[in-house]
Structure 1
Amino acid sequence: MRKNNFVVYSFLLAFFFISALHAQTAISIKNPKDAPVISKHIYGHFSEHLGRSIYDGLYVGEDSPIPNTDGVRDDLIQALKDLQIPNLRWPGGCFADTYHWRDGIGPQEDRPTIVNQWWGDVTEDNSFGTHNFLNLCEVLGAEPYLAGNVGSGTVQEFSNWVQYVNHDEGSPMAKLRKENGKEESWDVKFWGVGNEPWGCGGNMDAEFYADLYKQYATFLTSWDKDTEMYRIASGPSGNDYHWMEVLMKEIPAELMEGVALHSYSVIDWSNKGPASEFTEDHYFATMTEALKMEEYITKHTAIMDKYDPENKVGLIVDEWGGWYEVEEGTNPGFLFQQNTMRDAMIAGATLNIFNNHSERVYMANLAQAVNVLQAVALTQGEQMILTPTYHVMKMYTVHHDAQLLPVNFESPDYTYNGESLPAVSVSASKKDGKVAISLVNIDSKKENEVELDLGELDVEGMTATILTSDKLQDHNTFENTENITPGEFKDFKIKRGKLELTIPPFSVIVLKSE
């Protein structure tokens, strides 16, 4: 009898263990009429004068044998166009508060050189300046986002830059622009007032910066033009809620349209870990930091709601992404790192967070576009590769300016060494009658079964794309440029308004209604 009890007990244990492994996560998707729109600007990018981001990345010069348009690589232009890049932030970053815009205008042979004191102490010749950048944005169809010099500049210098790019005629700066070959103004909307004033932008405290911001913002105006000025205050890093509280309390709403937030997925600033040859310890720690974005946005939004209940001020996450040790043999100040399936997980999960908080999150800028940190493209001479992060962002273009469809579910856990993280993240949207659903499973080993309730969406058929690979450390190389590319995903079924599928480990899936 005891033996039989033991057999039954063992069977039950095995049954519950197997059931747990195959437990299905139920996800409901709502379709409220008053849901916010997911701004396309959430999918913005960032190019700083840092390492090989501008020079030898974006800009190779008009005399380069590499095919280019006004010195900018044609292959990169096409890649960014395919990504439907909505905006591009420039010239920094830390570099912004050392940059004097007049050094980068006029004949290139007359432009002074500058030592990039933040990134590698390299000497730059200012051959890529305001005209180059704003003309590139026109080619890309992207909104420029200019970060002005507050740390080492003046109010007059900043105001003159606004005049130079936005004033049609009748001012000295408009006259100077015309002399430099640009008759019509660019009408730049997005302006960042400094960068990280709590750090490289001047080591200020929040109260000092709030007063300084008000001074600068007062003189940033479009005069009598119809151009909308969107002034962005340099906000907190991560969980610095005091900084956000001070800015929201002290800066009048009529002087601030947006406030920035910076958050990088960094294990330890003193030992950031390798970019490609990482362990699961590294991976779990990185994802722990990446998923803190949910907490940061929720708590910063609560502060903003207190002072701005009408939601007039946008949250601008204008620096985010993974940050690791540089690749062996490269300049430590250039921040060049490989881009693996871990970065795809950061991108997919973070973008889902942004989408689901789109009532407050208006813009975000991945750091950075090319050859720096979590880049979407890497270049080497005439070659260029697209990274897993690029492919995720391209898959997510279906969410650009689409109406959010709120989701509700309890995520299964990704458990490692006794600690747990939510394994699955989801966001959904609807545009022109078409539904899009993005799902991410960050679990390094376990697949996760999900059931999506489509009852409110009137969906009959869907197609799907997946990004996955054999190992988390997999990446594209200049020898194997398509080691990781999106593929068609068919392993799902829709029956009586329910969609069932299994998400493989560390993968991203985007479904679209037909």
Structure 2
Amino acid sequence: MSKIQVTFNREKGTISRYIYGQFAEHLGRCIYEGVWVGTESDIPNHNGMRLDVVEALKAIQVPVIRWPGGCFADEYHWKDGIGPTEERATIVNTHWGGVTENNHFGTHEFFELCKQVGAEAYVNGDVGSGTVQEMQEWVEYMTMDGVSPMSKLRRENGQDDPWKVKFFGVGNESWGCGGNMRPEYYADLYRRYQTYVRQYTKEPLYKIACGPNIDDYHWMDVLMKQATPFMDGISLHHYALASKWEDKRPALGFPDEEWFSLIESAVKMDELITRHSTIMDKYDPEKRVGLIVDEWGSWLAVEPGTNPGFLYQQNTIRDAMIASLTLNIFHKHADRVHMANIAQMVNVLQAMILTEGEKMIKTPTYYVFELYKNHQDATVVDTDGIISDTASYTVSKKDGMMTASFCNYSLTEAETVTLSLVDGSFDEAEAYGIVGKKTDDHNSFENPNAIVKQAFKDFFVEENELRITLPPMSVISVYAKGK
């Protein structure tokens, strides 16, 4: 039994809503078929965007979408994706499957997606194969309100008003697919490129430098030492693996030990953030610069019979554990983690949504984001106590409502948790959750509702105590009002 004391009026920081960000790369069927079907499609759409996918994303209050990559970003030349669609250049996606694409989804379509979903824009610029001029002109094209060559071109292409770009990434994985650079070289290159990411609006662009791969602490130290005054955020990438990187393991039909090895890999996020934050604190003690975990999630073997370059994997109750545990870690480090973007939104890696033609299903990971959405912009409250080794939790408050979210990743044992409110009492409460019966329970196009959010009744409220019994393989959120 776990016992946790909650001091409701002792606050420990705000959970940025941007921690619940999404990532949409030109990879496999994420953009094409997943989000974009075109205006001539028989699949119901609005301006080419799938209505079912957009409505599902709106329901989980997606705050920000990162685009166009990923590795794709450092070979993406934005002028190929503007103007009349029939005149756009056909390109080869060399990173992901070697397929050709027609560039029908470009800058204008991305901002249309953001508008329909109600999300902010996080645009990733091309440093690996692009020029300073190309990046500068893209920012001008997107955000310039006055008269200029690029704003004129934007208006000629049908967009009179500039768009709002909240976040801008200067390169992606520059240590790898973005150019195989050394940190010393990239630090200088970042300083140069970001100079020309001009501010054309009253609200400054939030500039994000390419940070380290997993535990490359040397990269973090060099970038913070050389470029801190020129950045607002620095990225971190870490994927959960069930085995070695070279040996991707199946998403379905896995042995019990791979349940735990995947979780162990995901939990490493806590150590990574702690150690990288220590380096950041040395150069930025005021914590002005945000740690931006703009790629995270489980990376498993592709589904049999699918293109290996498309990274299409099933999504199970195990992935729900990864999502819950990782979000709880981000909440714990809310003072430094300003944004995160799970990889990826639709049909790729740990996706929210899977599509097949006109069919669409929501994954267990989707329901975790739905269960957790009350944590967006909420205040983490102080807690103290003991919880089992197979459980994780977050307690936050917003608008007088407490949200307590729990993950129990034991395969066999239920976990009873008692929350004791030190400075008040509970008035009323309700709970919802998802629960697995088998380790690879998942939604399929034949059975789309095997794992769905359901009302949860196994809890008890009396005065200042809330007692809840978490089933094995479950994610539960309790929403309680105090008095």
TM-score (norm 1): 0.92
Q: Which of residues 129, 148, 152 in structure 2 aligns to 1:152?
A: 129
Residues 206-265 of structure 1, C-alpha deviation per residue, up to 9 Å, x if partnerless? 111111100011111214x21221000111121111111111111132x10001110000
**RMSD of aligned Cα (Å):** 1.1
| 2:431 equivalent in structure 1 | 464
The counterpart of 2:270, out of the listed 294, 308, 317, is 294
**Matched-pair contact (CA < 8 Å) for 2:74–2:172:** yes
Structure 1 unmatched runs, 5+: 1-23, 414-422
1:73 aligns with 2:40: no
Asked if 1:240 is matched to 2:216, the reply is: yes
Superposed counterparts of 1:371-450, under 5 Å: 371-413=347-389, 423-450=390-417
Greater shift, 484-493 or 148-157, is seen at 484-493
Aligned match for 2:147, one of 170, 174, 179? 170
Report the equivalent of 1:26.
3
SS at match of 1:461: strand
2:476 aligns with 509
Aligned residue number for residue 136 of structure 1: 113
Equivalent position amino acid for 1:217 in 2: Q
Tell me: CA distance 1:101–1:432, structure 2 relative to 1, closer, same or farther (3 Å). same
**CA distance in structure 2 between the partners assigned to 1:32 and 1:198 by the alignment:** 44
Q: In the aligned structure 2, how far is the partner of 1:457 from the partner of 1:299?
A: 36
Q: Which residue number corresponds to residue 117 of structure 1?
A: 94
Name the CA shift for 1:246/1:410 in 2 (closer, same or farther; >3 Å). Answer: farther
* One-letter code aligned to 2:143: N
Aligned 8 A contact 1:46 1:368 in 2 = yes
Distance 1:187 1:485 in 2: 35
Q: Could you tell me how far apart the structure 1 residues matched to 2:220 and 2:382 are?
A: 26
Query: In structure 2, how many angstroms separate the alpha carbons of the residues matched to 1:265 and 1:338?
Result: 15
Letter in 1 for 2:417: V
Q: Is the 8 A contact 1:407 1:427 kept in 2?
A: no
Mapped to 2, the partners of 1:457 and 1:327 lie a distance apart of 50
Equivalent in the alignment of 1:36: 13
Q: What is the CA-CA distance between 1:27 and the residue it aligns to? A: 1.3
**Structure 2 residue matching 1:248: 3-state secondary structure:** helix
Give the secondary structure class of the aligned counterpart of 1:263: strand
Q: SS of the residue aligned with 2:235? A: strand
Identify the residue that residue 83 of structure 1 maps to in structure 2.
60
- Name the structure 1 match of 2:298: 322
Deviates more, 1:31-40 or 1:135-144: 31-40
Q: Please report how far the alpha carbon of residue 378 of structure 1 lies from its aligned counterpart in structure 2 after TM superposition.
A: 0.3
Mapping 1:199-348, distance limit 5 Å:
199-223=176-200, 225-253=201-229, 255-266=230-241, 267-348=243-324
Paired residues in the alignment total 480
SS for the counterpart of 1:35 is strand
3-state SS of the aligned residue for 2:427? coil
Aligned counterparts of 2:362 and 2:120: Cα–Cα separation in 1: 22
Moved over 3 A (4+): 31-34
CA distance in 2, matches of 1:405, 1:457: 13
Provide Cα deviations, 1:352-374, integer angstroms capped at 9, x if missing partner.
Answer: 11112111111000100000000
Asked if the contact 2:344–2:350 (Cα under 8 Å) also holds between the matched residues in 1, the reply is yes
**Amino acid paired to 1:499:** L
Return the offset for 1:459: 2.5
Deviation at 1:438, TM superposition (A): 0.4
- 2:11·2:380 contact (CA, 8 Å) conserved in 1? no
Cα displacement string for residues 410-468 of structure 1 (whole angstroms, at most 9, x for unaligned residues): 3323xxxxxxxxx1111111111111110111111111121112223542221111110
CA contact (8 A) 1:455 1:498 kept: no
Which residues of structure 2 form unaligned runs of 5+? none
Instruction: Give the whole-Å Cα distance in 1 for the aligned partners of 2:210 and 2:9.
Output: 33
Cα deviation, 1:279-320, whole Å, max 9, x if unaligned, reads 111111100100001111111111111111111111110000
Residue of structure 2 equivalent to 1:51:
28
